[in-house]
Amino acid sequence: MNSRLVGTRSERREDAKLLSGRGRYVDDISLPGLLEAAFVRSTAGHGRILSVDVAAARTMPGVHAVLTYADLVAAGAGSRMPLPFPHPAAREGLTQYALAADEVCYVGEPIAIVVADDRQLAEDAASAVIVDVDPLPVAIGCVDAAKDDAPNVHSDRSSNVAAHLSVGFGDVDAVFDAAAHVFSDRVAMHRGGCHAMECRGVVAEYSRHDDHLTVWTSTQSPYLVRRILCQHLGRDEHVTRVLAPDVGGGFGPKANVYPEEIVVPIAAMALGRPVRWSEDRREHFVATLQQRDQIWEVEVAADERGRMTGLRGRAWHDAGAYLPYGVVLPLTALTALPGPYALDAVSVTMDVVHTNAVPTAPVRGAGRPCAAFVLERMADRIAQELDIDPAEVRRRSFVTAEQMPYATGMRYRDGSSVSYDSGDYAQCLEAAVERSGYAGFEDRRRAALADGRYLGIGIASYVEDTGVGPFEGATVRVERSGRVVLTTGAANQGQGHATMLSQICADALSVDLNSIRIESADTGRFPMGMGTIGSRIAVMAGSSVQQAATEVRMKALAVAADAFGVGTQALTIEGGFISVLGQPDQSISLGEIAARLFPTVGGVLPSDVSAGLEATSFFSNGGRIAYAYGTHVAEVEVILDTGEVRLLRYTVAHDCGRIINPAIVDGQIIGGVVHGIGNALFERMMHDDQGQPVNANYGEYLLPMACEIPPIDIVHIETPSPLNPLGAKGAGEGGTIPAAAAIIGAIERALPGTARLLHHPVGPEQLYALINLNSPLTSKISGVAAQLQSR
């Protein structure tokens, strides 16, 4: 197969439009008669709604409607929102009402929608809605909320434990009994929000003439939104169209289906006018799903050489007030075990705990960073205790290349065995070690120490399940002009899918990149799709495009062969033309073939050929997962006087299978690492004990900016995956998964003799306190070290 463009750093086709401000995001959409909405949201962490008085709001200038739960009931949408991903372990799978009914359970929970001529007027009226809430006790913090005596997160449910998950394999007791070493630690991980630069947004337009509802939403999953919306409103899918316009970043939370995606369409239908709601940043902190805490108390078993042999323990996961995304996030964290390690036994249980805060769901990495953080911190513990180089512990513990495909011992939900398809983890680690100058670190450290500077280096590895099914799809169609139209359900939030898929199509069909047009993420243009999550689009949509384009190529060749009276092996296809080898004047364009397959009335199709030069493929991987993997090395300096951490350099070696566009993959990795830097050092979503968010603005919730980023160096290893025609694996999240572990490990190593660093984010004050634990001047701050704080 031709490989002209696949594998090259093709410039992105999306860029020209975006660089000249011609993107069209939800808030850019213009429709005749469009009204703007604002939501009234709970300002209490927990309370019983006594009354919602909208009388004053309804009479304010420019207001067209104010809807509450009563209006949802009248519209037949008064039940709790459907649960998209049920799981047997989630006993109840509690979701919220699209507008709060009689109780609010988190600050930010939507209570009413105001629709007005513009957003300013809508907000004015929203502030005139009087909500009377009788406060109820609030449970914050998942470990505390799991206790029997904790306040009820929901007044009518006495247990806050939404699910009890459990994973494992092997004889854990035997492995630990036989272990030469057993170490235990308590690891606490905080993530944060996705903070895509474009907040969420929904535009809904309803036509009474044909009962057609169109919803534009800043989503990663238009098909899921349609399914849930239709389910909740009792509508048919064929008259409900959901599309994602340009989307300014997703990172996980935009894959959920939200109350606003239900309420805005209801408002549009009630008013007979299109309605838009654009989330603002303050809302984003309380209305869009985020990740918060996971705490793991674990023991690791190792043999006398420091090979990791087993892991067991219990964990707690903060689910927030509801389970809109089921238990996908905590389960993904657990099933990421055993990572790249050939463990003999694993046994971890996890309580998924409700708290009175905004619900949680996957954010870039989706729980895998938590599993990686635990595994890597314990690997470093082994290294420390046995006085072995941390890289060596990894080498001794890795699954080897010879063991591939490797059944880890874990099982998928359907009972089938989890198997790593391919990979050489040790080779990848060596590449990272070499590129990062790991071997020379000791010399650098000593030289710096002579200057009074403290350097540290951390290494962390990961495995990532990518390309989850069941399918994604694409249609490739050639029009009589020669234009190639590629339609797919796959949704894009900046990953350059249009470029990546065009490269695949161009190679498979031997056409120029510029002849291809892409349509995507529109249920009205493509019948079925899944969603952009879990680093799956290159594998799933890319393979669909490969298959569909190849089918079109074959069909075109067959028609041409018939037309020229030769066998297909006597033909060549290039630049949109098929010609007889050695006879360039015997040539026909793809456009002309398309025209022959789409003649006018009375015309004739070539015999034994179906109409149209097009093909559709829904690539399915039969449930098999392609495992990407990598190793990261972080080098840091810790300033003892202040506890500041400076990132000096960062190295990534990774294998995501065959790379379709290295520039795009570089971008995904660097962007992913920067999310990891945020997780390690900066991001902490703080709530007080009444569930009030403390730092819901960008002055106080810290995201990394350009001056905080070190040079990031990447080594690409390409081991084609045997599981799809491209040989590709996913690349969207690998940058994030081990990053916090590498950075925290580096900080710990910069400060030998101080306490273990078993949590993130780590802030300068905590480090300062750890460094100066014995200094009388800082005895007051030493208590901070024991607490989970970001300062």
Q: Within 268-287, which residues bind other proteins (CB under 8 A)?
A: 280-282
Per-residue binding letters, 423-452, with other proteins (x by CB under 8 A): ------------------------------
Q: Is 474 left (phi over 0), alpha (psi -120 to 50) or beta?
A: beta
With CA atoms as reference, report the closest residue to 710 among 442, 436, 459, 341: 436
Q: Which is nearer to other proteins, 353 or 740 (CB)?
A: 740
Per-residue x/- mask for other proteins, residues 727 to 766, rule CB under 8 A? ------------------------------------xxx-
Least Å distance, CB 716 to other proteins, is 15
Q: Name which position in 41, 119, 154, 749 contacts other proteins (CB under 8 A).
A: 119
Task: Respond yes or no on whether the N-terminal peptide bond of residue 761 is cis (omega within 30° of 0).
Answer: yes
Least gap, CB of 53 to other proteins (angstroms): 20
What element of type H or E holds 560? helix 537-564
* β-pairing verdict for 644-655 and 712-717: parallel
Interface with other proteins (CB under 8 A), residue from 189, 196, 266, 459: 196
Helices (H), 703-781: 739-750, 764-771
- Using omega within 30 degrees of 0 as the cis cutoff, is the peptide bond preceding 330 cis? no
The CB-side HSE value for 602 (13 A sphere, CA atoms) comes to 0
The residue from 5, 6, 12, 172 that contacts other proteins (CB under 8 A) is: 12
Taking CB under 8 A as the criterion, which residues in 126-145 touch other proteins? 127
The 618-657 site mask, x for binding other proteins (CB under 8 A), equals -----------------------xx-x-------------
Q: Which helix (H) or strand (E) segment is 435 a member of?
A: helix 425-436
Cβ atoms of 661 and 477 within 8 Å: the answer is no
Q: Which is nearer to other proteins, 12 or 232 (CB)?
A: 12
d(CA 564, CA 543): 31
Give yes or no for residue 158 binding other proteins (CB under 8 A): no
In eight-state DSSP terms, residue 307 is -
Q: How far is CA 113 from CA 16, 254, 261, in A?
A: 37, 20, 12
# residues near other proteins by CB under 8 A: 84
Q: How far is the CB of 516 from other proteins (least distance, A)?
A: 18
Tell me which stretch binds other proteins (CB under 8 A): 152-160, 171-179, 207-215, 704-712.
Answer: 704-712
The DSSP 8-state label assigned to residue 40 in this structure reads E
Contacts of other proteins in 217-246 (CB under 8 A): 246
10 Å CB burial of residue 387 (0-12, 13-18, 19+) is: exposed
Which listed residue (371, 490, 590, 673) binds other proteins by CB under 8 A?
Answer: 673
Cα R_g (the chain), whole angstroms: 28
Q: 709, 712, 750, 534: which is closest to 632 by C-alpha?
A: 712
**Sole window of 155-163, 188-196, 207-215, 594-602 interacting with other proteins (rule: CB under 8 A):** 188-196
CA distance 277 to 54: 19
Cα distance between residue 146 and residue 160, in whole Å? 6
Does 774 bind other proteins (CB under 8 A)? Our answer is: no
Nearer to other proteins, 177 or 688 (CB): 688
Cα 748 to Cα 383: distance, rounded to the nearest angstrom: 12
- Work out which of 708, 751, 754, 755 binds other proteins, going by CB under 8 A: 708
Q: Shortest CA distance to 160 belongs to which of 329, 252, 42, 46?
A: 46
Query: Within positions 466 to 495, which residues make up the interface with other proteins, using CB under 8 A?
Result: 493-495
Does 497 participate in binding other proteins (rule CB under 8 A)? no
Q: How far is the CB of 123 from other proteins (least distance, A)?
A: 5
Residue 123 in the binding site for other proteins (CB under 8 A): yes
* Sites for other proteins among residues 323-362 (CB under 8 A): none
- From edge to edge, which strands make up the β-sheet containing 644-655? 454-466, 626-639, 644-655, 712-717
- The greatest distance separating any two alpha carbons of the chain, rounded to the nearest whole angstrom, comes to 97
By CB under 8 A, name the one of 367, 704, 727, 745 that touches other proteins.
Answer: 704
Instruction: Based on the shown chain and the rule CB under 8 A, indicate whether residue 24 belongs to the binding site for other proteins.
Output: yes
Q: Closest approach of Cβ 494 to other proteins, in Å?
A: 3
The binder of other proteins chosen from 207, 416, 417, 697 (CB under 8 A): 697
| Residue given tokens 């080498």 in the structure block | 395
Min CB(776)–other proteins separation in Å = 11
Which residues, numbered 244-263, are part of the site for other proteins (CB under 8 A)?
Answer: 246-249, 251
Q: Please, what is the minimum distance in Å from the beta carbon of residue 673 to other proteins?
A: 6
